[in-house]
Structure 1
Amino acid sequence: MNQPPHSPRPPDWLRPPGVAAGTWQYVHQRTIARHYDDFVADTPLCELDRRYVLETLAAVSPAPAATLGAESDDFPPLILDLGAGTGRLADPVRQLGYDVLAVDLSQSMLETLLERHGDRAATQTPAAGTILPMRANLVQLDALADAIADHAICMFSTIGMIQGRANRVRFLCHIARAVRPGGCLILHVHRRWAALRETGGMRRLLRSWIDSFRGEAEFGDATYAYRGLDKMFMHRFSEREIQSELKAAGWTVQRIDRVGLDGGELTQSAWNASGLFLVCTRE
Protein backbone atom coordinates (compact mmCIF):
# COMPACT_ATOMS: atom_id res chain seq x y z
CA MET A 1 0.00 0.00 0.00
CA ASN A 2 1.34 3.44 -0.92
CA GLN A 3 1.92 5.78 2.01
CA PRO A 4 0.37 9.25 1.93
CA PRO A 5 2.75 12.07 0.96
CA HIS A 6 2.43 13.59 4.40
CA SER A 7 1.53 12.39 7.86
CA PRO A 8 -1.44 14.06 9.58
CA ARG A 9 -0.29 17.45 10.81
CA PRO A 10 -1.43 18.35 14.32
CA PRO A 11 -3.18 21.70 14.71
CA ASP A 12 -0.99 24.77 14.83
CA TRP A 13 -1.74 25.42 18.49
CA LEU A 14 0.18 22.22 19.28
CA ARG A 15 3.29 23.53 17.50
CA PRO A 16 6.22 23.21 19.95
CA PRO A 17 8.35 26.16 21.06
CA GLY A 18 11.02 27.20 18.60
CA VAL A 19 9.27 25.51 15.66
CA ALA A 20 8.19 27.97 12.96
CA ALA A 21 4.96 27.40 11.03
CA GLY A 22 6.86 26.35 7.91
CA THR A 23 9.04 23.95 9.87
CA TRP A 24 5.94 22.40 11.43
CA GLN A 25 4.72 21.66 7.91
CA TYR A 26 8.17 20.41 6.87
CA VAL A 27 8.42 17.76 9.60
CA HIS A 28 5.05 16.30 8.61
CA GLN A 29 5.82 16.12 4.87
CA ARG A 30 6.64 12.45 4.29
CA THR A 31 7.90 12.94 0.73
CA ILE A 32 10.64 15.29 1.95
CA ALA A 33 12.10 12.54 4.12
CA ARG A 34 11.77 9.89 1.42
CA HIS A 35 13.72 11.89 -1.13
CA TYR A 36 15.95 13.88 1.20
CA ASP A 37 19.20 11.99 0.54
CA ASP A 38 18.78 12.26 -3.22
CA PHE A 39 17.89 15.94 -2.95
CA VAL A 40 21.07 16.87 -1.05
CA ALA A 41 23.38 14.32 -2.71
CA ASP A 42 25.05 16.90 -4.94
CA THR A 43 25.23 19.64 -2.29
CA PRO A 44 28.94 20.37 -1.73
CA LEU A 45 28.34 21.29 1.92
CA CYS A 46 27.19 17.73 2.68
CA GLU A 47 30.57 16.26 1.79
CA LEU A 48 32.48 19.09 3.46
CA ASP A 49 30.65 18.86 6.78
CA ARG A 50 30.96 15.05 6.77
CA ARG A 51 34.76 15.35 6.47
CA TYR A 52 34.84 18.15 9.02
CA VAL A 53 32.89 16.16 11.62
CA LEU A 54 34.95 12.99 11.19
CA GLU A 55 38.28 14.85 11.28
CA THR A 56 37.25 16.89 14.33
CA LEU A 57 36.07 13.82 16.24
CA ALA A 58 39.36 12.10 15.42
CA ALA A 59 41.24 15.10 16.82
CA VAL A 60 39.30 15.43 20.09
CA SER A 61 39.11 11.75 21.13
CA PRO A 62 40.64 8.37 20.29
CA ALA A 63 38.81 6.41 17.64
CA PRO A 64 36.59 3.98 19.56
CA ALA A 65 36.84 1.40 16.79
CA ALA A 66 40.54 1.09 17.56
CA THR A 67 39.96 0.38 21.25
CA LEU A 68 36.69 -1.53 21.28
CA GLY A 69 36.61 -4.97 19.71
CA ALA A 70 33.57 -7.01 18.83
CA GLU A 71 33.92 -9.02 22.05
CA SER A 72 34.42 -6.02 24.31
CA ASP A 73 31.99 -5.49 27.19
CA ASP A 74 32.73 -1.75 27.26
CA PHE A 75 30.08 0.65 26.02
CA PRO A 76 31.15 2.75 23.02
CA PRO A 77 31.25 6.52 23.54
CA LEU A 78 28.02 8.29 22.61
CA ILE A 79 27.53 11.11 20.10
CA LEU A 80 24.40 13.27 20.00
CA ASP A 81 23.39 13.97 16.38
CA LEU A 82 20.98 16.87 16.68
CA GLY A 83 18.72 17.25 13.67
CA ALA A 84 19.90 13.84 12.42
CA GLY A 85 17.43 13.64 9.54
CA THR A 86 17.83 10.40 7.60
CA GLY A 87 21.23 9.56 9.11
CA ARG A 88 23.48 11.33 6.63
CA LEU A 89 26.09 11.93 9.36
CA ALA A 90 24.96 9.39 11.94
CA ASP A 91 26.01 6.45 9.78
CA PRO A 92 29.63 7.51 9.08
CA VAL A 93 30.02 8.49 12.74
CA ARG A 94 28.80 5.11 13.96
CA GLN A 95 31.22 3.44 11.53
CA LEU A 96 34.02 4.93 13.63
CA GLY A 97 32.71 2.95 16.60
CA TYR A 98 30.52 5.55 18.30
CA ASP A 99 26.96 4.94 19.37
CA VAL A 100 24.83 7.74 17.93
CA LEU A 101 21.69 9.15 19.52
CA ALA A 102 19.92 10.51 16.42
CA VAL A 103 17.51 13.26 17.47
CA ASP A 104 14.94 14.72 15.08
CA LEU A 105 11.40 16.09 15.29
CA SER A 106 10.33 14.43 12.03
CA GLN A 107 8.95 10.93 12.49
CA SER A 108 9.29 10.34 8.74
CA MET A 109 12.98 11.25 8.81
CA LEU A 110 13.64 8.81 11.65
CA GLU A 111 11.67 6.04 9.95
CA THR A 112 13.77 6.53 6.81
CA LEU A 113 16.93 6.51 8.94
CA LEU A 114 16.00 3.16 10.46
CA GLU A 115 15.18 1.66 7.08
CA ARG A 116 18.58 2.62 5.70
CA HIS A 117 20.92 2.43 8.68
CA GLY A 118 19.16 0.65 11.49
CA ASP A 119 20.57 -2.85 10.94
CA ARG A 120 23.96 -2.98 12.65
CA ALA A 121 24.58 -6.47 11.26
CA ALA A 122 24.63 -5.06 7.73
CA THR A 123 27.79 -3.08 8.41
CA GLN A 124 31.16 -4.35 7.28
CA THR A 125 32.85 -2.86 10.36
CA PRO A 126 32.67 -5.24 13.34
CA ALA A 127 33.33 -2.48 15.87
CA ALA A 128 30.72 -0.09 14.45
CA GLY A 129 28.36 1.48 16.93
CA THR A 130 24.58 1.60 16.96
CA ILE A 131 22.22 4.35 15.84
CA LEU A 132 19.52 5.04 18.42
CA PRO A 133 16.64 7.21 17.12
CA MET A 134 14.89 9.72 19.36
CA ARG A 135 11.97 11.88 18.25
CA ALA A 136 12.08 15.20 20.06
CA ASN A 137 11.91 18.95 19.62
CA LEU A 138 15.45 20.32 20.06
CA VAL A 139 14.21 23.01 22.43
CA GLN A 140 12.61 20.40 24.74
CA LEU A 141 15.35 17.89 25.54
CA ASP A 142 14.64 17.52 29.26
CA ALA A 143 14.53 13.73 28.77
CA LEU A 144 18.28 13.65 28.14
CA ALA A 145 20.18 12.67 31.27
CA ASP A 146 23.00 14.89 32.50
CA ALA A 147 26.45 14.05 31.08
CA ILE A 148 25.06 11.21 28.95
CA ALA A 149 27.09 11.96 25.81
CA ASP A 150 30.76 12.35 24.97
CA HIS A 151 30.27 14.85 22.15
CA ALA A 152 27.49 16.43 20.08
CA ILE A 153 27.09 17.51 16.46
CA CYS A 154 24.51 19.91 15.01
CA MET A 155 25.21 20.45 11.32
CA PHE A 156 23.66 21.77 8.09
CA SER A 157 22.44 24.87 9.97
CA THR A 158 19.95 22.88 12.03
CA ILE A 159 20.21 25.45 14.82
CA GLY A 160 19.10 28.06 12.30
CA MET A 161 15.79 26.24 12.01
CA ILE A 162 15.06 27.09 15.66
CA GLN A 163 13.01 30.28 15.84
CA GLY A 164 13.93 32.77 18.55
CA ARG A 165 17.17 33.49 20.42
CA ALA A 166 15.76 32.34 23.77
CA ASN A 167 14.79 28.99 22.24
CA ARG A 168 18.21 28.54 20.64
CA VAL A 169 19.97 29.29 23.93
CA ARG A 170 17.68 26.85 25.71
CA PHE A 171 18.64 24.17 23.17
CA LEU A 172 22.34 24.90 23.64
CA CYS A 173 21.89 24.73 27.44
CA HIS A 174 20.36 21.26 27.11
CA ILE A 175 23.36 20.10 25.09
CA ALA A 176 25.82 21.65 27.55
CA ARG A 177 24.07 19.70 30.31
CA ALA A 178 23.96 16.44 28.34
CA VAL A 179 27.61 16.44 27.19
CA ARG A 180 30.22 15.24 29.66
CA PRO A 181 32.93 17.65 30.91
CA GLY A 182 35.68 17.76 28.31
CA GLY A 183 33.28 16.98 25.48
CA CYS A 184 32.76 19.17 22.45
CA LEU A 185 29.96 20.48 20.25
CA ILE A 186 30.52 20.74 16.49
CA LEU A 187 28.15 23.24 14.93
CA HIS A 188 27.34 24.72 11.53
CA VAL A 189 25.45 27.95 10.87
CA HIS A 190 24.63 29.96 7.77
CA ARG A 191 26.24 33.41 7.77
CA ARG A 192 23.91 36.39 7.57
CA TRP A 193 26.14 38.68 5.52
CA ALA A 194 26.54 36.11 2.76
CA ALA A 195 23.24 37.53 1.51
CA LEU A 196 25.24 40.48 0.16
CA ARG A 197 26.69 38.11 -2.44
CA GLU A 198 23.25 36.87 -3.53
CA THR A 199 20.83 38.31 -6.06
CA GLY A 200 18.32 40.39 -4.12
CA GLY A 201 20.25 39.78 -0.90
CA MET A 202 20.56 43.44 0.08
CA ARG A 203 16.80 43.87 -0.22
CA ARG A 204 16.17 40.78 1.92
CA LEU A 205 18.60 41.96 4.58
CA LEU A 206 16.95 45.36 4.67
CA ARG A 207 13.51 43.78 5.00
CA SER A 208 14.78 41.55 7.81
CA TRP A 209 16.24 44.57 9.61
CA ILE A 210 12.98 46.53 9.27
CA ASP A 211 10.97 43.56 10.59
CA SER A 212 13.33 43.28 13.57
CA PHE A 213 13.05 47.02 14.23
CA ARG A 214 9.27 46.63 14.30
CA GLY A 215 9.53 43.67 16.67
CA GLU A 216 8.00 41.33 14.09
CA ALA A 217 11.06 39.05 13.79
CA GLU A 218 14.76 38.85 14.58
CA PHE A 219 17.39 40.31 12.28
CA GLY A 220 18.53 37.32 10.23
CA ASP A 221 15.15 35.56 10.12
CA ALA A 222 13.92 34.58 6.67
CA THR A 223 11.23 32.46 5.07
CA TYR A 224 11.64 30.96 1.62
CA ALA A 225 10.17 28.42 -0.78
CA TYR A 226 11.52 24.91 -0.29
CA ARG A 227 10.34 21.73 -2.04
CA GLY A 228 6.70 22.68 -2.23
CA LEU A 229 6.65 24.62 1.04
CA ASP A 230 6.25 28.37 0.71
CA LYS A 231 7.34 29.47 4.20
CA MET A 232 10.34 27.39 5.24
CA PHE A 233 12.14 29.16 8.12
CA MET A 234 15.86 29.82 8.55
CA HIS A 235 17.82 32.15 10.81
CA ARG A 236 21.19 33.34 9.54
CA PHE A 237 23.78 34.42 12.09
CA SER A 238 26.49 36.99 12.43
CA GLU A 239 29.72 35.62 13.88
CA ARG A 240 29.27 37.70 17.01
CA GLU A 241 25.66 36.56 17.45
CA ILE A 242 26.33 32.81 17.41
CA GLN A 243 29.28 33.25 19.77
CA SER A 244 27.04 35.22 22.13
CA GLU A 245 24.37 32.50 22.15
CA LEU A 246 26.96 29.80 22.77
CA LYS A 247 28.51 31.78 25.64
CA ALA A 248 25.08 32.33 27.20
CA ALA A 249 24.65 28.53 27.29
CA GLY A 250 28.05 27.84 28.84
CA TRP A 251 30.02 26.91 25.73
CA THR A 252 33.49 28.20 24.89
CA VAL A 253 34.31 28.53 21.20
CA GLN A 254 37.69 26.93 20.54
CA ARG A 255 37.74 27.14 16.76
CA ILE A 256 35.88 28.87 13.94
CA ASP A 257 36.27 27.91 10.29
CA ARG A 258 34.56 29.77 7.45
CA VAL A 259 32.75 27.85 4.73
CA GLY A 260 33.21 29.14 1.18
CA LEU A 261 30.38 30.49 -0.92
CA ASP A 262 29.86 27.22 -2.82
CA GLY A 263 29.91 25.20 0.41
CA GLY A 264 32.58 22.84 -0.89
CA GLU A 265 35.67 24.17 0.84
CA LEU A 266 36.87 26.31 3.73
CA THR A 267 38.00 29.88 3.20
CA GLN A 268 39.93 32.51 5.14
CA SER A 269 37.87 35.30 3.62
CA ALA A 270 34.86 36.68 5.49
CA TRP A 271 33.59 38.21 2.23
CA ASN A 272 33.56 34.81 0.55
CA ALA A 273 32.04 32.89 3.48
CA SER A 274 28.56 31.38 3.27
CA GLY A 275 28.64 29.91 6.76
CA LEU A 276 30.69 28.90 9.79
CA PHE A 277 31.84 25.70 11.44
CA LEU A 278 32.39 26.09 15.19
CA VAL A 279 34.04 23.68 17.62
CA CYS A 280 33.03 24.41 21.22
CA THR A 281 33.81 22.99 24.65
CA ARG A 282 31.99 23.28 27.95
CA GLU A 283 33.11 25.95 30.38
Structure 2
Amino acid sequence: MHEGAIAARYDEFVATTPLCGVDLEIISDVFPPISTVESAGETAAEGAETPGQGGAVGPSGGGEKKWVFDLGCGTGRASAVLASNGYQVAAVDLSLPMLREVRKRELESVATIRANLVQLDGIADDVAEGAVCLFSTLGMIQGRQNRRRFLAHVRRVVRTGGRFYLHVHHRYAALTNLPGVKQLMSTAVRSWTRSDWEYGDAVYAYRGLPDMFLHQFSRRELMADFAATGWNVERWWNLSLDGARVIDSKFGIAGGYLIVVG
Protein backbone atom coordinates (compact mmCIF):
# COMPACT_ATOMS: atom_id res chain seq x y z
CA MET A 1 0.00 0.00 0.00
CA HIS A 2 1.82 3.09 -1.22
CA GLU A 3 -1.11 5.41 -1.85
CA GLY A 4 -1.11 8.50 0.37
CA ALA A 5 -4.89 8.60 0.45
CA ILE A 6 -5.05 5.08 1.86
CA ALA A 7 -2.51 5.92 4.55
CA ALA A 8 -4.34 9.11 5.54
CA ARG A 9 -7.63 7.27 6.10
CA TYR A 10 -6.22 3.97 7.28
CA ASP A 11 -6.98 4.47 10.99
CA GLU A 12 -10.57 5.36 10.12
CA PHE A 13 -10.83 2.13 8.15
CA VAL A 14 -9.36 -0.16 10.81
CA ALA A 15 -11.58 1.40 13.47
CA THR A 16 -14.52 -0.29 11.73
CA THR A 17 -12.73 -3.62 11.23
CA PRO A 18 -13.52 -6.08 14.06
CA LEU A 19 -10.23 -7.94 13.72
CA CYS A 20 -8.30 -4.79 14.56
CA GLY A 21 -9.75 -4.80 18.04
CA VAL A 22 -9.20 -8.49 18.71
CA ASP A 23 -5.53 -8.56 17.71
CA LEU A 24 -4.69 -5.57 19.92
CA GLU A 25 -6.50 -7.10 22.89
CA ILE A 26 -4.13 -10.06 22.69
CA ILE A 27 -0.95 -8.10 21.99
CA SER A 28 -0.60 -6.98 25.61
CA ASP A 29 -0.87 -10.61 26.68
CA VAL A 30 1.96 -11.55 24.33
CA PHE A 31 4.04 -8.47 25.20
CA PRO A 32 2.87 -7.41 28.68
CA PRO A 33 3.76 -4.03 30.16
CA ILE A 34 7.30 -3.75 31.45
CA SER A 35 6.33 -3.29 35.07
CA THR A 36 7.93 -1.36 37.88
CA VAL A 37 8.04 -4.67 39.73
CA GLU A 38 10.44 -6.04 37.11
CA SER A 39 12.58 -2.91 37.38
CA ALA A 40 12.65 -3.18 41.15
CA GLY A 41 13.69 -6.81 40.92
CA GLU A 42 16.56 -5.95 38.60
CA THR A 43 17.69 -3.15 40.92
CA ALA A 44 17.66 -5.51 43.89
CA ALA A 45 19.69 -8.05 41.94
CA GLU A 46 22.28 -5.42 41.09
CA GLY A 47 22.47 -4.34 44.73
CA ALA A 48 23.19 -7.90 45.80
CA GLU A 49 26.46 -7.97 43.83
CA THR A 50 29.77 -7.87 45.68
CA PRO A 51 30.83 -4.21 46.10
CA GLY A 52 33.32 -3.12 43.49
CA GLN A 53 32.71 -6.03 41.13
CA GLY A 54 29.75 -4.60 39.15
CA GLY A 55 28.34 -7.57 37.27
CA ALA A 56 27.77 -7.32 33.53
CA VAL A 57 24.30 -6.67 32.17
CA GLY A 58 22.98 -9.74 30.33
CA PRO A 59 20.36 -10.00 27.58
CA SER A 60 17.54 -9.16 29.98
CA GLY A 61 19.59 -7.24 32.50
CA GLY A 62 18.57 -4.01 34.19
CA GLY A 63 18.59 -0.87 32.09
CA GLU A 64 18.69 -2.57 28.69
CA LYS A 65 15.99 -1.43 26.30
CA LYS A 66 13.65 -4.11 25.01
CA TRP A 67 12.98 -3.79 21.31
CA VAL A 68 9.94 -5.18 19.50
CA PHE A 69 9.69 -4.97 15.71
CA ASP A 70 6.32 -4.03 14.20
CA LEU A 71 6.68 -5.55 10.73
CA GLY A 72 4.37 -4.08 8.12
CA CYS A 73 3.44 -1.47 10.71
CA GLY A 74 0.98 0.53 8.62
CA THR A 75 0.11 3.68 10.55
CA GLY A 76 1.50 2.27 13.79
CA ARG A 77 -1.58 1.08 15.65
CA ALA A 78 0.33 -1.90 17.14
CA SER A 79 3.45 0.23 17.64
CA ALA A 80 1.46 2.59 19.84
CA VAL A 81 0.29 -0.23 22.11
CA LEU A 82 3.77 -1.72 22.37
CA ALA A 83 5.25 1.69 23.16
CA SER A 84 2.65 2.28 25.87
CA ASN A 85 3.69 -1.06 27.38
CA GLY A 86 7.23 0.21 27.76
CA TYR A 87 8.96 -1.28 24.72
CA GLN A 88 11.21 0.40 22.20
CA VAL A 89 9.56 -0.20 18.84
CA ALA A 90 11.06 -0.49 15.37
CA ALA A 91 8.15 0.27 13.03
CA VAL A 92 9.00 -1.23 9.64
CA ASP A 93 7.09 -0.64 6.41
CA LEU A 94 7.84 -0.13 2.72
CA SER A 95 5.26 2.64 2.36
CA LEU A 96 6.52 6.17 3.03
CA PRO A 97 2.97 7.56 3.49
CA MET A 98 2.32 4.92 6.16
CA LEU A 99 5.58 5.73 7.94
CA ARG A 100 4.70 9.44 7.88
CA GLU A 101 1.47 8.58 9.69
CA VAL A 102 3.49 6.69 12.31
CA ARG A 103 5.69 9.75 12.86
CA LYS A 104 2.60 11.93 13.33
CA ARG A 105 1.88 9.96 16.49
CA GLU A 106 5.04 11.53 18.00
CA LEU A 107 5.92 8.48 20.07
CA GLU A 108 9.42 8.90 21.49
CA SER A 109 10.05 5.17 21.81
CA VAL A 110 9.08 4.37 18.20
CA ALA A 111 11.69 4.48 15.43
CA THR A 112 10.56 4.13 11.80
CA ILE A 113 12.43 2.05 9.23
CA ARG A 114 11.60 1.87 5.53
CA ALA A 115 12.31 -1.64 4.28
CA ASN A 116 11.04 -4.50 2.18
CA LEU A 117 10.12 -7.28 4.60
CA VAL A 118 11.90 -9.86 2.47
CA GLN A 119 15.12 -7.80 2.54
CA LEU A 120 15.95 -7.37 6.22
CA ASP A 121 19.61 -8.37 5.86
CA GLY A 122 20.75 -5.04 7.31
CA ILE A 123 19.22 -5.77 10.73
CA ALA A 124 21.58 -7.48 13.17
CA ASP A 125 20.99 -10.86 14.81
CA ASP A 126 19.36 -11.23 18.24
CA VAL A 127 18.50 -7.56 18.69
CA ALA A 128 14.78 -7.90 19.46
CA GLU A 129 12.70 -9.08 22.37
CA GLY A 130 10.03 -9.97 19.86
CA ALA A 131 8.12 -9.00 16.74
CA VAL A 132 4.57 -8.61 15.46
CA CYS A 133 3.18 -8.91 11.93
CA LEU A 134 -0.55 -8.21 11.97
CA PHE A 135 -3.51 -7.65 9.63
CA SER A 136 -2.44 -10.47 7.29
CA THR A 137 0.80 -8.75 6.29
CA LEU A 138 2.52 -12.13 5.90
CA GLY A 139 -0.08 -13.01 3.26
CA MET A 140 0.78 -9.86 1.29
CA ILE A 141 4.21 -11.33 0.51
CA GLN A 142 3.98 -13.13 -2.82
CA GLY A 143 5.74 -16.47 -3.19
CA ARG A 144 6.30 -19.11 -0.54
CA GLN A 145 10.06 -18.80 -0.89
CA ASN A 146 9.81 -15.09 -0.10
CA ARG A 147 7.49 -15.68 2.86
CA ARG A 148 9.94 -18.22 4.28
CA ARG A 149 12.81 -15.82 3.74
CA PHE A 150 10.91 -13.23 5.77
CA LEU A 151 10.15 -15.72 8.55
CA ALA A 152 13.83 -16.72 8.64
CA HIS A 153 14.86 -13.07 8.95
CA VAL A 154 12.50 -12.59 11.90
CA ARG A 155 13.85 -15.76 13.54
CA ARG A 156 17.37 -14.36 13.18
CA VAL A 157 16.47 -10.91 14.52
CA VAL A 158 14.44 -12.11 17.53
CA ARG A 159 16.62 -13.43 20.34
CA THR A 160 16.27 -16.96 21.71
CA GLY A 161 13.27 -16.99 24.03
CA GLY A 162 11.60 -14.11 22.20
CA ARG A 163 8.15 -14.24 20.61
CA PHE A 164 6.67 -13.49 17.21
CA TYR A 165 2.94 -12.67 17.05
CA LEU A 166 1.18 -12.70 13.69
CA HIS A 167 -2.16 -12.85 11.88
CA VAL A 168 -3.09 -14.63 8.66
CA HIS A 169 -6.28 -15.41 6.76
CA HIS A 170 -7.49 -19.01 6.53
CA ARG A 171 -7.79 -20.36 3.00
CA TYR A 172 -10.71 -22.68 3.63
CA ALA A 173 -12.97 -20.02 5.08
CA ALA A 174 -13.94 -19.70 1.42
CA LEU A 175 -15.86 -22.98 1.71
CA THR A 176 -18.62 -21.25 3.67
CA ASN A 177 -20.11 -19.46 0.64
CA LEU A 178 -20.58 -20.11 -3.09
CA PRO A 179 -18.40 -17.22 -4.37
CA GLY A 180 -15.67 -18.41 -2.05
CA VAL A 181 -15.88 -21.97 -3.36
CA LYS A 182 -15.56 -20.66 -6.91
CA GLN A 183 -12.58 -18.53 -5.91
CA LEU A 184 -10.93 -21.53 -4.24
CA MET A 185 -11.42 -23.64 -7.36
CA SER A 186 -10.01 -20.84 -9.49
CA THR A 187 -6.86 -20.46 -7.42
CA ALA A 188 -6.37 -24.23 -7.49
CA VAL A 189 -6.58 -24.36 -11.29
CA ARG A 190 -4.21 -21.41 -11.64
CA SER A 191 -1.70 -23.07 -9.33
CA TRP A 192 -1.69 -26.10 -11.64
CA THR A 193 -1.26 -24.09 -14.84
CA ARG A 194 0.92 -21.11 -13.85
CA SER A 195 4.42 -21.23 -12.38
CA ASP A 196 3.96 -17.82 -10.74
CA TRP A 197 0.77 -18.77 -8.87
CA GLU A 198 0.33 -20.76 -5.66
CA TYR A 199 -2.74 -22.41 -4.18
CA GLY A 200 -4.25 -19.80 -1.89
CA ASP A 201 -3.16 -16.75 -3.92
CA ALA A 202 -5.75 -14.11 -4.74
CA VAL A 203 -5.73 -10.72 -6.45
CA TYR A 204 -8.67 -8.38 -5.98
CA ALA A 205 -9.73 -4.74 -5.80
CA TYR A 206 -9.16 -3.26 -2.35
CA ARG A 207 -9.91 0.29 -1.20
CA GLY A 208 -9.09 1.87 -4.55
CA LEU A 209 -6.28 -0.50 -5.47
CA PRO A 210 -7.19 -2.62 -8.53
CA ASP A 211 -4.81 -5.51 -7.88
CA MET A 212 -4.28 -6.17 -4.19
CA PHE A 213 -2.39 -9.46 -3.64
CA LEU A 214 -3.16 -11.73 -0.69
CA HIS A 215 -2.14 -15.30 0.05
CA GLN A 216 -4.50 -17.27 2.29
CA PHE A 217 -3.05 -20.11 4.32
CA SER A 218 -3.91 -23.62 5.40
CA ARG A 219 -2.91 -24.73 8.87
CA ARG A 220 -0.64 -27.43 7.44
CA GLU A 221 1.13 -24.91 5.23
CA LEU A 222 1.79 -22.60 8.16
CA MET A 223 3.13 -25.39 10.34
CA ALA A 224 5.52 -26.43 7.57
CA ASP A 225 6.70 -22.85 7.04
CA PHE A 226 7.31 -22.34 10.76
CA ALA A 227 9.24 -25.61 11.03
CA ALA A 228 11.36 -24.76 7.99
CA THR A 229 12.39 -21.41 9.47
CA GLY A 230 13.11 -22.44 13.05
CA TRP A 231 9.87 -21.45 14.78
CA ASN A 232 7.78 -23.46 17.25
CA VAL A 233 4.10 -22.69 17.81
CA GLU A 234 3.36 -21.55 21.38
CA ARG A 235 -0.23 -20.32 21.07
CA TRP A 236 -2.87 -20.48 18.37
CA TRP A 237 -6.23 -18.74 18.23
CA ASN A 238 -8.92 -19.46 15.63
CA LEU A 239 -10.94 -16.42 14.60
CA SER A 240 -14.58 -16.23 13.58
CA LEU A 241 -15.32 -15.73 9.88
CA ASP A 242 -15.70 -11.98 10.36
CA GLY A 243 -12.63 -11.79 12.60
CA ALA A 244 -14.65 -10.29 15.44
CA ARG A 245 -13.85 -12.90 18.09
CA VAL A 246 -11.80 -15.93 19.01
CA ILE A 247 -13.70 -19.20 18.55
CA ASP A 248 -13.32 -22.73 19.87
CA SER A 249 -11.06 -24.64 17.49
CA LYS A 250 -13.35 -27.67 17.66
CA PHE A 251 -16.33 -25.92 16.13
CA GLY A 252 -16.75 -24.17 12.81
CA ILE A 253 -14.36 -23.01 10.11
CA ALA A 254 -11.91 -20.31 11.13
CA GLY A 255 -11.79 -17.09 9.15
CA GLY A 256 -8.19 -16.56 10.17
CA TYR A 257 -5.58 -17.24 12.81
CA LEU A 258 -3.69 -15.29 15.45
CA ILE A 259 -0.50 -17.16 16.29
CA VAL A 260 2.44 -16.83 18.66
CA VAL A 261 5.65 -18.64 17.75
CA GLY A 262 8.95 -18.72 19.58
Place the TM-score, normalised by the shorter chain, in its bin. Answer: 0.7 to 0.9
- Equivalence for 2:23: 49
Checking the alignment, whether the CA contact within 8 Å between 1:76 and 1:97 is kept in structure 2 is no
After the TM superposition, which residues 148-187 of structure 1 pair with which residues of structure 2 at under 5 Å, given as runs?
Answer: 148-187=127-166
Residue 28 (structure 2) pairs with residue 39 (structure 1): no
Which amino acid letter does the alignment assign opposite residue 85 of structure 2? L
- What secondary structure sits across from 1:139 in the alignment? coil
- Equivalence for 1:239: 219
Aligned pair partner of 1:197 in 152, 176, 180: 176
Q: CA deviation at 1:176?
A: 0.4
Checking the alignment, whether the CA contact within 8 Å between 1:141 and 1:174 is kept in structure 2 is yes
Unpaired segments ≥5 residues, structure 2: 44-61
Q: CA deviation at 1:198?
A: 3.5
Shift of the 199–113 alpha-carbon distance from structure 1 to 2, 3 Å rule, reads farther
- Equivalence for 2:75: 86
Q: CA deviation at 1:239?
A: 0.4
Which amino acid letter does the alignment assign opposite residue 64 of structure 1? I
Checking the alignment, whether the CA contact within 8 Å between 1:259 and 1:265 is kept in structure 2 is yes
Q: Report the Cα distance in structure 2 between the residues aligned to 1:53 and 1:198, rounded to whole angstroms.
A: 31
Q: CA deviation at 1:82?
A: 0.5
Structure 1 residues 229-269: Cα deviation after superposition (integer angstroms, max 9, x where no partner):
11100000000101111111110112211011121111114
Q: State the TM-score, normalized to the length of structure 1.
A: 0.81
Q: CA deviation at 1:215?
A: 2.7
Q: CA deviation at 1:119?
A: 4.0
Q: Report the Cα distance in structure 2 between the residues aligned to 1:199 and 1:36, rounded to whole angstroms.
A: 30
Q: CA deviation at 1:75?
A: 3.2
C-alpha RMSD over aligned residues: 1.6
- Equivalence for 1:222: 202
Q: CA deviation at 1:65?
A: 4.1
Checking the alignment, whether the CA contact within 8 Å between 2:172 and 2:253 is kept in structure 1 is no
- Equivalence for 1:141: 120
- Equivalence for 2:54: none
Residue 74 (structure 2) pairs with residue 104 (structure 1): no
Which amino acid letter does the alignment assign opposite residue 27 of structure 2? V
- Equivalence for 1:280: 261
- What secondary structure sits across from 1:54 in the alignment? helix
Q: Report the Cα distance in structure 2 between the residues aligned to 1:209 and 1:272, rounded to whole angstroms.
A: 19
- What secondary structure sits across from 1:101 in the alignment? strand
Aligned residues between the structures: 239
- Equivalence for 2:192: 213
Checking the alignment, whether the CA contact within 8 Å between 2:83 and 2:107 is kept in structure 1 is no
Q: Report the Cα distance in structure 1 between the residues aligned to 2:223 and 2:167, rounded to whole angstroms.
A: 12
**Which protein shows a greater Rg?**
2
Checking the alignment, whether the CA contact within 8 Å between 1:194 and 1:271 is kept in structure 2 is no
Structure 1 residues 86-112: Cα deviation after superposition (integer angstroms, max 9, x where no partner):
011100111010001000010110001
Which amino acid letter does the alignment assign opposite residue 137 of structure 1? N
Q: Report the Cα distance in structure 2 between the residues aligned to 1:35 and 1:143, rounded to whole angstroms.
A: 31
Q: Report the Cα distance in structure 1 between the residues aligned to 2:22 and 2:85, rounded to whole angstroms.
A: 18
Which amino acid letter does the alignment assign opposite residue 263 of structure 1? G
Q: State the TM-score, normalized to the length of structure 2.
A: 0.87
Unpaired segments ≥5 residues, structure 1: 1-25, 121-129
Which amino acid letter does the alignment assign opposite residue 261 of structure 1? L
- What secondary structure sits across from 1:46 in the alignment? helix
- Equivalence for 2:52: none
Checking the alignment, whether the CA contact within 8 Å between 1:68 and 1:76 is kept in structure 2 is no
Shift of the 31–246 alpha-carbon distance from structure 1 to 2, 3 Å rule, reads same
Which amino acid letter does the alignment assign opposite residue 174 of structure 1? H
Q: CA deviation at 1:199?
A: 4.5
Sequence identity (%) = 43
